[in-house]
Protein backbone atom coordinates (compact mmCIF):
# COMPACT_ATOMS: atom_id res chain seq x y z
CA UNK A 1 0.00 0.00 0.00
CA UNK A 2 2.91 2.36 0.67
CA UNK A 3 4.18 2.63 -2.91
CA UNK A 4 0.82 3.15 -4.67
CA UNK A 5 -0.27 5.67 -2.05
CA UNK A 6 3.02 7.54 -2.33
CA UNK A 7 2.78 7.64 -6.13
CA UNK A 8 -0.79 8.89 -5.98
CA UNK A 9 -0.04 11.70 -3.53
CA UNK A 10 3.15 12.74 -5.36
CA UNK A 11 1.51 12.94 -8.78
CA UNK A 12 -1.58 14.61 -7.32
CA UNK A 13 0.64 17.35 -5.86
CA UNK A 14 2.48 17.69 -9.20
CA UNK A 15 -0.83 17.98 -11.05
CA UNK A 16 -1.79 20.85 -8.72
CA UNK A 17 1.58 22.44 -9.63
CA UNK A 18 2.86 22.16 -6.07
CA UNK A 19 6.43 21.20 -6.99
CA UNK A 20 7.93 22.06 -3.59
CA UNK A 21 5.10 20.22 -1.84
CA UNK A 22 5.61 17.15 -4.05
CA UNK A 23 9.34 17.09 -3.34
CA UNK A 24 8.71 17.67 0.35
CA UNK A 25 6.26 14.78 0.37
CA UNK A 26 8.87 12.52 -1.26
CA UNK A 27 11.36 13.50 1.44
CA UNK A 28 8.83 12.74 4.16
CA UNK A 29 7.78 9.45 2.53
CA UNK A 30 11.41 8.39 2.06
CA UNK A 31 12.32 9.14 5.66
CA UNK A 32 9.16 7.40 6.89
CA UNK A 33 10.00 4.33 4.82
CA UNK A 34 13.61 4.35 6.05
CA UNK A 35 12.60 4.69 9.69
CA UNK A 36 10.00 1.91 9.44
CA UNK A 37 12.84 -0.63 9.57
CA UNK A 38 14.45 0.86 12.68
CA UNK A 39 13.54 4.36 13.84
CA UNK A 40 16.71 4.64 15.92
CA UNK A 41 18.72 5.09 12.70
CA UNK A 42 16.64 8.05 11.51
CA UNK A 43 18.83 10.62 13.33
CA UNK A 44 21.89 9.18 11.56
CA UNK A 45 20.52 9.74 8.07
CA UNK A 46 19.06 13.14 9.01
CA UNK A 47 22.38 14.28 10.48
CA UNK A 48 24.22 13.03 7.41
CA UNK A 49 21.81 14.82 5.09
CA UNK A 50 22.07 18.08 7.02
CA UNK A 51 25.87 17.86 7.20
CA UNK A 52 26.18 17.22 3.46
CA UNK A 53 23.67 19.94 2.65
CA UNK A 54 25.76 22.48 4.56
CA UNK A 55 29.02 21.24 3.00
CA UNK A 56 27.47 21.23 -0.48
CA UNK A 57 26.09 24.76 -0.12
CA UNK A 58 29.46 25.93 1.17
CA UNK A 59 31.11 24.52 -1.98
CA UNK A 60 28.70 26.42 -4.18
CA UNK A 61 30.29 29.29 -6.10
CA UNK A 62 27.30 31.54 -5.30
CA UNK A 63 27.74 31.03 -1.55
CA UNK A 64 30.27 33.71 -0.61
CA UNK A 65 29.74 33.75 3.18
CA UNK A 66 32.20 30.92 3.82
CA UNK A 67 35.84 31.89 3.31
CA UNK A 68 37.35 28.41 3.48
CA UNK A 69 39.47 26.82 0.80
CA UNK A 70 37.01 24.76 -1.28
CA UNK A 71 39.35 21.79 -1.73
CA UNK A 72 39.94 21.54 2.03
CA UNK A 73 36.21 21.70 2.67
CA UNK A 74 35.55 18.98 0.10
CA UNK A 75 38.24 16.74 1.63
CA UNK A 76 36.77 17.34 5.09
CA UNK A 77 33.27 16.43 3.84
CA UNK A 78 34.46 13.24 2.17
CA UNK A 79 36.54 12.25 5.22
CA UNK A 80 33.58 12.79 7.56
CA UNK A 81 31.32 10.66 5.34
CA UNK A 82 33.87 7.85 5.10
CA UNK A 83 34.44 8.04 8.88
CA UNK A 84 30.71 7.58 9.51
CA UNK A 85 30.63 4.61 7.20
CA UNK A 86 33.82 3.16 8.68
CA UNK A 87 32.50 3.49 12.21
CA UNK A 88 29.47 1.33 11.53
CA UNK A 89 31.16 -1.16 9.22
CA UNK A 90 34.61 -1.67 10.73
CA UNK A 91 34.66 -0.74 14.43
CA UNK A 92 33.97 -4.26 15.68
CA UNK A 93 36.44 -5.66 13.14
CA UNK A 94 39.14 -3.29 14.39
CA UNK A 95 38.42 -4.06 18.06
CA UNK A 96 38.49 -7.79 17.39
CA UNK A 97 41.86 -7.55 15.63
CA UNK A 98 43.36 -5.33 18.33
CA UNK A 99 42.16 -7.81 20.95
CA UNK A 100 43.76 -10.65 19.02
CA UNK A 101 47.05 -8.83 18.33
CA UNK A 102 47.53 -7.37 21.81
CA UNK A 103 45.83 -10.15 23.78
CA UNK A 104 43.33 -7.73 25.32
CA UNK A 105 39.63 -8.14 26.02
CA UNK A 106 38.00 -4.90 24.92
CA UNK A 107 34.28 -5.70 24.49
CA UNK A 108 32.82 -5.49 20.99
CA UNK A 109 30.19 -2.84 20.35
CA UNK A 110 27.98 -5.17 18.25
CA UNK A 111 26.86 -2.34 16.01
CA UNK A 112 24.18 -3.25 13.54
CA UNK A 113 24.64 -1.65 10.16
CA UNK A 114 22.02 1.01 9.35
CA UNK A 115 19.99 0.20 6.29
CA UNK A 116 21.63 1.45 3.05
CA UNK A 117 24.33 3.46 4.85
CA UNK A 118 26.86 2.65 2.13
CA UNK A 119 24.46 3.76 -0.60
CA UNK A 120 23.45 7.07 0.91
CA UNK A 121 27.01 7.85 2.06
CA UNK A 122 28.58 7.30 -1.38
CA UNK A 123 25.64 9.02 -3.08
CA UNK A 124 26.22 12.11 -0.97
CA UNK A 125 29.99 12.02 -1.52
CA UNK A 126 29.44 11.87 -5.26
CA UNK A 127 26.97 14.72 -5.20
CA UNK A 128 29.27 16.84 -3.03
CA UNK A 129 32.11 16.34 -5.46
CA UNK A 130 30.16 16.76 -8.69
CA UNK A 131 27.55 19.41 -8.00
CA UNK A 132 28.63 21.23 -4.87
CA UNK A 133 25.36 22.76 -3.76
CA UNK A 134 22.81 20.15 -4.83
CA UNK A 135 20.04 19.55 -2.33
CA UNK A 136 20.62 15.91 -1.46
CA UNK A 137 17.27 15.29 0.10
CA UNK A 138 15.70 15.46 -3.35
CA UNK A 139 17.60 12.30 -4.25
CA UNK A 140 16.30 10.04 -1.48
Three-state helix/strand/coil letters over the chain = CHHHHHHHHHHHHHHCCCHHHHHHHHHHHHHHHHHHHCHHHHHHHHHHHHHHHHHHHHHCCCCCCCCCCHHHHHHHHHHHHHHHHHHHHHHHHHHHHHHHHHCCCCCCCCCCCCCCHHHHHHHHHHHHHHHCCCCHHHHC
Provide CB contacts within 8 A for 11, sequence distance 6+.
22
Provide CB contacts within 8 A for 118, sequence distance 6+.
85, 89
pLDDT averaged over the chain?
A: 85
User: Which range among 78-87, 106-115, 117-126 has the greatest average pLDDT?
Assistant: 78-87
Of all residues in the chain, the percent with pLDDT exceeding 70 is: 85
Cα–Cα dist 135/140, whole Å: 10
Per-residue pLDDT at 139: 40
- Using one digit for the tens of pLDDT, what is the confidence trace for 73-103? 888 989 999 999 999 999 999 999 999 999 9
pTM of the model: 0.75
Amino acid sequence: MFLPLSFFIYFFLLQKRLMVGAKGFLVFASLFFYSWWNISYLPIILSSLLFNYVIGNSLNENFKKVHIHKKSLLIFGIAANVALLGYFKYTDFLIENVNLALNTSVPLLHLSLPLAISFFTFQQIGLNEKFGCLNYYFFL
